[in-house]
């Protein structure tokens, strides 16, 4: 597997969300996309991170940006998490871990597999614009917003 780098095409995916709706990377062409990988639904750090994205969802919408959460939990777990936290964006289920592996976020410990807390900003052409490998759930959103605005300003002709 090649190392992901800024400017590379983002790995394609086809995953089902909490409502059993299929999402493909190509569905988001023409928009900015934030993909956040997280370890487990309904855990303290993951809840904090998801709720931070929820609180700023309107701002992201005004910036022509969609948000997707991805982990290895099943769609039923995601639906419970979305309902409990009233999340306004989909959570995608990567049961096999194949997509997580393609983004170099999959962690395996024997039979147990889960996603590391990593995030990506994908530009409207489907290229990786920013990679976050060290994410603090409480402070990540501020950095993502600053970086997204900078990337968008720099992409204007």
* Chain segment 9-62, per-residue pLDDT in tens: 999 999 999 999 999 999 999 999 999 999 999 999 999 999 999 999 999 999
Domain count, the chain: 1
Residue of 4, 10, 25, 46 marked catalytic: 46
Whether 46 is a known active-site residue: answer yes
CA 29 to chain centre: 15
β-partners of residue 114 are 107
Structural domain contains residue 78 = yes
Residue 91, domain member (yes or no): yes
Angle at 63 between CA 18 and CA 77, to 5 degrees: 15
**DSSP H or E segment with residue 68:** strand 65-71
| pLDDT band (50, 70, 90) for residue 117 | very high
For residue 102, the domain's CATH number is 3.40.30.10
- Predicted pLDDT at 157: 66
Which of helix, strand or coil describes residue 5? coil
Number of helices followed by number of strands (H, E) in the chain: 5, 9
Residue 63 domain-assigned? yes
Q: 9 lies in a domain? A: no
Give domain status of residue 75, yes or no: yes
Contact assessment for residue 10 and residue 128, using Cβ atoms and an 8 Å cutoff? yes
Residue 62: inside a domain, yes or no? Answer: yes
Instruction: With cut-offs at 50, 70 and 90, classify the pLDDT of residue 112.
Output: confident
The residue range of the domain holding 101 is: 14-134
Q: What pLDDT, on the 0 to 100 scale, is given for residue 1?
A: 46
Residue 140 falls inside a structural domain: no
State the maximum Cα–Cα separation within the chain, in Å, rounded to a whole number: 49
Cα-based angle 4, 37, 54 (whole degrees, multiple of 5): 130
């Amino acid at each position: 597997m090649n190392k992901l780098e800024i400017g590379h095409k983002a790995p394609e995916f086809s995953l089902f969300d909490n409502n059993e709706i299929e999402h493909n990377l190509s569905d988001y062409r023409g928009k900015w996309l934030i993909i956040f990988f997280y370890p487990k639904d309904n855990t303290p750090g993951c809840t904090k991170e998801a709720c931070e994205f929820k609180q700023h969802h309107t701002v992201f919408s005004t910036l022509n940006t969609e948000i997707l959460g991805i982990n290895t939990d099943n769609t039923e777990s995601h639906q419970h998490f979305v309902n409990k936290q009233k999340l306004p964006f989909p959570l995608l289920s990567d049961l096999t871990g194949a997509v997580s592996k393609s983004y170099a976020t999959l962690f395996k410990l024997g039979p147990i597999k889960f996603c590391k807390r990593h995030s990506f900003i994908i530009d409207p052409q489907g290229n990786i614009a920013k990679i976050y490998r060290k994410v603090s759930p409480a402070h990540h959103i501020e950095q993502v917003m600053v970086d997204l605005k900078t990337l968008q300003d720099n992409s204007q002709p």
